[in-house]
Structure 1
Amino acid sequence: MHSPEERLENIRMIRDSAVAFAPASELARVRGLRYQTPGFDRAVWREMADNGWLGLSLAEARGGIGLGMAEYCALLEVFGAALLPEPFVPAVLAARLLDGEQLSAQLGGERLLLPALQEEIDSLSTAEGATHLHNGKVSGRKLCIPMAGAADGFLVSTPEGLALVEAKAPGVKLEIVVTQDGGHFGHLHLHEVTAESLPLHPPALDYALDEAALGTAAYLLGVAEQAFALTLDYLRTRKQFGQTIGTFQVLQHRAVDLKLQLALWRASLDAAAAACDGGAPAGQRRAAVSRAKARAADAALLVTRQAVQLHGAIGYTDECDVGLYLRKAMTLANLYGSSDQHRRRYDACMPRLTSV
């Protein structure tokens, strides 16, 4: 068990190494990968795996580093600030559901398996009902798989358990839908596809989904904080009527409001990470994660939209970097649950007061 001081030092070192790996100021690679397939660089992905980041929060007994959710979120904030297109969160989710050689290949970056869990566009659950595994064959469909065009295989959820499907197996059809940020989602259509059956443990899946939702909230926080930083720089340098626009009181008030949103967001994210790392009961953990993800979904769109507006007309051009952050927020805000879905889950998880 790490002491609080050791954990703070771990977080600092993780941030420093991630910033050196992916500086937020260098977006040329991100721009060059937009609207391409697979949409990211496999050499970069392998380097991320070599750094041990895919197993950062996985137990040492399973080949991971054994750190906590606070460290995982710190890493993803840096990734968000740099707008990394690599499907890091889905790959970590998949790793939580793997074991043996498949897990080793996933953590080592040799294979990329992505989870295929969702069957309804507006569903927070895994909605396994329409996809079935029978006699080693799986049929059905799964939707909204981030960066699915790069996958070597998919972990498909069914009522009978997980089905490991190779991406190029007969009967697999992948429909690619381009997203606002220049990446893509994949809709997976399966017809009598030969699959390897894997055990599905509901508590492990529940925790993996919470980890993915919280990781997405952390990534979005990095997106929003960098968009805000770019906006502050612009307000300090852009001149109008002979003075920098950052001296205009109305713009100062808008900036303060955004700063408050970011502070509240960070507080809810830290509280959720602490609940996960502290072994809180499942209901409390779900409530904390849902509170953080609901705030992330709303605040990410608010902050990045305001950032574009505060840049004036130039903010709406594709050449202006701040627009990339809005596009990323629009793409990821609803991933692993929209704000409405997480508010409903939060309400369901909170204990009800009863009269005596």
Structure 2
Amino acid sequence: MDGMMEQDEAERRESVRMIRESAAGLVPRHGDFARVRALRYADPGYDTAIWQAMGEQGWIGLRVPEAHGGIGLGMAEACALAEELGQALAPEPLVAGALSARLLAAAGDDSLLPALLQGRSLVLTAWQEAPDSLEAPGTPGAPRLFLPQAAGAETLLVPVAEGGALALYAVPAAGQALHLQRTQDGGNLGTLVPDLAGARRLHGDVGAALAVALEEAALVTAASLLGLMERAFAMTLDYLRTRQQFGKPLGSFQALQHRAADLRIQIALSRASVEGAARGLDAGAAPDRASAAVSRAKARAAEAAMLITREAVQMHGAIGYTDEHDIGLFLRKAMVLANAYGSAALHRNRFLEKADPLAA
């Protein structure tokens, strides 16, 4: 039994390593940010060629079962991928696209899912009706909020409460009342007032599938924040080693060393929380325990990312506050991701509700 467990763990580590390598080949973590800057404040806000390449790599369907055209990997791999993309500040809406892929697979769809998995289209799920929420009431006719990179969506999935269940409808984005707003990082968010006249009903009840998909989206977003804070911290350390003041590197000053040590601890705690939650979901943890672990990871990652990116800007001095310096891109992205799929406050409250006080 121990030998089998060790083999499973070795295979899991190898799978995670391969995912990281594939990500590094497409969006290098140590590359520059010319691509990211070129896509800011322009529609659709991401690179459609990179989106298609992500589909070809299998990333959009990473959590979709093989029977539905995905590759059926676990949350450990999904979080490793998100961490790498967070390092590169990739603007492509992979989390939202993967959520839609999970729903389409659960609905048994064979019309929209293949093109989404191949990155030839973007399908977004209009589930959110209130700010700072992780619930999908499906209120008929209610505006749906915060659709990421909605300027590029071709199809919108709309969950609607019907007879005690949550039905799923598909509508073409063209012709829908979709209002776009710019985000701090230069992307866009859409608000949809759904018109289901002529919509196609895909399934009568996707409530359970959507709940699982939202849990996974929250955890993957935490992993994105982990990658983001790691890169911002590494860039700051490099700056402190090279920038001179009073004839000495800034990094030689004890006050800055203490601040850097505190930030390193926050990164380590965030990593432990994200990886622990991923292991729990992959091992089939009980729903409340899994939700508590996800909330702990998202709350910690959101708060740590905001702290670290703000400190990074401050440690860069005046140049850190200019838009021309790349360190500010990390703070802007953190401001967007910190509240996606639930803020730190929401997840702290949910952790208190779900956590077992007697659990080890």
Contact 2:144 2:192 in 1 (8 A): yes
Q: Is the 8 A contact 1:140 1:191 kept in 2?
A: no
Counterpart AA for 2:326: D
Aligned to 1:102: 112
Give me the identity figure in percent: 54
Indicate yes or no: 2:152 matched with 1:147: no
- 1:167 alignment partner in structure 2: 173
Distance 2:46 2:121 in 1: 15
Could you give the per-residue CA deviations for residues 25-66 of structure 1, whole angstroms, max 9, x where no partner exists? 221010000000101111111111011111112221221112
Deviation at 1:150, TM superposition (A): 0.4
2:278 is aligned with 1:270: no
Counterpart of 2:293 in structure 1 is: 288
**Paired residues for 1:237-316 under 5 Å:** 237-316=242-321
Q: Which amino acid aligns with 2:181?
A: V
Residue 69 (structure 1) aligned to one of 62, 66, 75: 75
> What's the TM-score once normalised by structure 2's chain length?
0.93
Determine helix, strand or coil for the equivalent of 2:111: helix
Asked if structure 2 preserves the Cα contact closer than 8 Å seen for 1:174 and 1:187, the reply is yes
Structure 2 counterpart of 1:188, from 187, 192, 211: 192
Looking at structure 2, the residues matched to 244 and 352 of structure 1 have their Cα atoms a distance apart, in angstroms, of 47
Q: Which moved more, 1:110-119 or 1:231-240?
A: 110-119
| Alpha-carbon distance, 1:326 to partner | 0.4
1:301-343 CA distances to partner (integer Å, 9 max, x unpaired)? 0010011011011100011111000000001100000111111
Pick aligned residue for 1:47 from 28, 53, 61: 53
In structure 2, the CA distance between the partners of 1:163 and 1:5, relative to structure 1 (3 Å rule), is: same
Asked whether 1:30 is paired with 2:30, we answer: no
Residue 53 of structure 1 aligns to which amino acid in structure 2? W
- Residues 174 and 188, structure 1, Cα contact 8 Å, conserved in 2: yes
Q: Size of the alignment, in residue pairs?
A: 343
Q: Distance in 1 between matches of 2:26 and 2:132?
A: 35
Query: Which residues in structure 2 correspond to 1:121-136 (within 5 Å)?
Result: 121-129=131-139, 132=140
Q: Deviation at 1:23?
A: 1.3
Tell me, what secondary structure is at the counterpart of 2:112?
helix
Provide TM-score, normalisation by structure 1: 0.94
**What is the rounded CA distance, in whole Å, between the counterparts of 1:124 and 1:52 in structure 2?**
26
Distance 2:155 2:248 in 1: 56
SS at match of 1:186: strand
Match of 1:58 among 56, 60, 64: 64
Aligned counterpart, 2:327: 322
Q: Deviations over 1:80-126 (max 9, x none)?
A: 01011000000000000003232212101122110110111232312
Alpha-carbon RMSD across the aligned residues, in angstroms, is: 1.4
Aligned amino acid, residue 60 of structure 2: L
Is the contact between residue 120 and residue 127 of structure 1 (CA under 8 Å) also seen in structure 2? no
Matches within 5 A, 1:74-93: 74-93=80-99
Amino acid at match of 1:208: A
For structure 1, which segment, 120-129 or 259-268, has the greater mean C-alpha deviation from structure 2 after superposition?
Answer: 120-129
Distance between the aligned counterparts of 2:329 and 2:46, measured in 1? Answer: 16
5+ residue gaps, structure 1: 133-138
Q: How far off its partner does 1:192 sit?
A: 5.0
Q: 1:269 to 1:352 in 2, by over 3 A?
A: closer
CA distance in 2, matches of 1:164, 1:123: 22
